[in-house]
Amino acid sequence: MRHLLSTADLAHDDAVDLLDVAEEMTQVAEREVKKIPVLRGRTVVNLFFEDSTRTRLSFEAAAKRLSADVINFSAKGSSVSKGESLQDTIQTLSAMGADAVVVRHSGSGTPQRMATSGWIDVPILNAGDGTHEHPTQALLDAFTLRRVLAGAPASGPAEGARGRDLSGATVAIVGDVLHSRVARSNVHLLTALGARVVLVGPPTLMPWGVDAWPAEVFYDLDEALAAHSFDAVMMLRVQLERMHQSFFPNPREYTRLWGLTEQRWRALPEHTAIMHPGPMNRGFEISAAAADSPRAVILDQVENGVAVRMAALYRLLIGTDSEGRP
C-alpha cells in the first residue's frame, strides 16, 4: 500500500490486515505511557484545506502515539485565485521533509491528484475529499462493526475480532448519500469485507447512477427496516442548508420520513448497533434516545478512529503487512 486514497483500492485481505493492526494499536492507549516509538523521527503533516477539528485531532493523536512529529497546516481556501497553489503548498511540504501527508480538501479527488502529480513522493492519506471518500472513517466503522459482530466490546483492547471480516452482516446507511464521502467509502469497504449494504434516503439525496453500486436502495426507511434485520444502522449527517436547495422541504418532514426517531429506534431488533460518523444533528437525523442508547456505538467509533489511523500510518510508513510482506 503506497497511499490511502480510496477504500475502492483496498482488497479484502489488506482491509482485514489494517483492522488487525488497529487491534494491536488499541493496546497502546492502555499503557501508562500511551506511545510506541515506531515512527520516531518521522514527520506527519496534517494538511487541512477544510476545517475538521475532530478528524485532525484524531490523526494528530494517532501520529503522536506512534511517536511521529506532527505539523498541522491549516490552509483554508486553496485555488489559484486565493494565492498559493496546491502545487506550491505540496512542494513546500515536500521540501520541509514531510514523511507522510494527511489531507482534507473540499474538492473531490485532490488527494489522488497530489499522489499522482509528482509534486511529492511520500504516502498521502485521504482524510476526506469533497463528496468522494473518507477511507479512515470507513475503516473505523468497519473496525467497530467487526467488534460488535464478534460480541466483543465495541472499543478498547479486546479479543475475538482479529482475523475476521464482516461476512453475513447487513448494514443500513441512511441519509444524504449524494453528498456523503462516508457513504462512498463504506459502500466499497463493507462490501469488500463481505457485508451487505443497504442505502436509504430521499431520492433527491441519492446519486444518479446509484443503481450501479453494490448496494440495495430504499427510499422509504420504514420499508427498509421492515425488510431487513440490520446489524447496524448508520445515520449520516444531513446539512440543514440542503433544504434551501430543495433536496427536502424542511427538517420536520425529513425527520418524520428518514430520521432515527425514538419510535423507530425502539422498534429495532436488540442486536442492531446505532452508528453515526458525527457530528450529529440531535433531533434531526437522529433522536437523543437513539444516540444515547446502550446500542449506540458512536463514541466507540471516535475512539477506534485513533487506532485505525495509527494502523494506516504504520502500514504506509513502515511499509509491511502483518506477515512482514513489503
Partner 1 sequence: MTSYLIQGASVLGAGPRDLAISGGRFVDALSDPDVVIDARGLVALPGLVDLHTHLREPGREDAETVLTGSQSAARGGYTAVHAMANTAPVADTAGVVEQVWNLGREAGWTEVVPIGAVTTGQQGTQLAELGAMARSAAGVRIFSDDGLCVADPLLMRRALEYVKTFDGIIAQHSQEPRLTEGAQMNEGTVSAELGLPGWPAVAEEAIIARDILLAEHVGSRLHVCHLSTAGSVELVRWAKSRGVRVTAEVTPHHLMLTDELVRTYDPLYKVNPPLRTQADVDAVRAGLADGTIDVVGTDHAPHTSEHKCCEWTAAAMGMVGMETALAIVVEAMRDFDFDFADVARVMSTRPAEISGLPEQGRIETGRGANLVLVDPEAEVRIDPAEHATMGRNNPFTGFTVSTRIVDTFLYGHRVVAGSALADPHPIARGGTWIA
- Binding residues (CB under 8 A) for partner 1: these are 8, 78-80, 85-87, 105-110, 112-113, 116-117, 129-133, 181, 184, 207-210, 212-213
Rounded CA-CA distance 98/89 in Å is 12
Provide the minimum distance between the beta carbon of 114 and partner 1 in the complex, in angstroms, as a whole number: 8
Taken in order 153, 28, 14, 107, the sign of the CA dihedral is positive
The helix (H) or strand (E) run that includes residue 186 is helix 181-192
Q: How many CB atoms lie within 10 A of CB 208?
A: 7
Q: Which of residues 112 and 272 has its CB atom nearest to partner 1 in the complex?
A: 112
CA 168 from chain centre, in angstroms, equals 21
**Nearest residue (CB) to partner 1, 74 versus 116:** 116
Tell me how far apart the alpha carbons of residues 128 and 135 are, in angstroms, rounded to a whole number.
7
Smallest separation (angstroms) from partner 1 to the CB of 182:
11
Measured from the CB atom, the residue of 59 and 119 that comes closer to partner 1 is: 119
Q: Tell me the closest approach of the beta carbon of residue 243 to partner 1, in angstroms.
A: 16
**Residues 179/131, Cβ–Cβ less than 8 Å:** yes
Q: How far is the CB of 48 from partner 1 (least distance, A)?
A: 14
> In angstroms, what is the minimal distance from the CB of 241 to partner 1?
13
- Nearest 5°: CA angle at 209, between 15 and 273? 45
The candidate with the shortest Cα–Cα distance to 277, out of 256, 305, 258, is 305
Nearer CB in complex with partner 1: 107/251: 107
Residues in the chain: 326
Strands (E), the chain: 43-48, 69-74, 100-105, 124-129, 170-174, 196-200, 216-218, 232-235, 273-275
Q: How far is the CB of 50 from partner 1 (least distance, A)?
A: 12
Judged by CB, which is closer to partner 1: 55, or 255?
55
C-beta closer to partner 1: residue 244 or 325 = 244
Name the grid cell of 230: 440490520
What is d(CA 201, CA 211) in angstroms, rounded to the nearest whole number? 14
Nearer to partner 1, 79 or 263 (CB): 79
For the CB of residue 80, give the shortest distance to partner 1 in the complex, in Å: 5
Least distance (Å) from partner 1 to the CB of residue 133?
A: 7
Query: Residue 64 phi/psi, 5° resolution?
Result: -70, -35
Place of cell 422498534: 267
Pick between residue 182 and residue 235 the one whose CB is nearest to partner 1. 182
d(CA 98, CA 283): 42
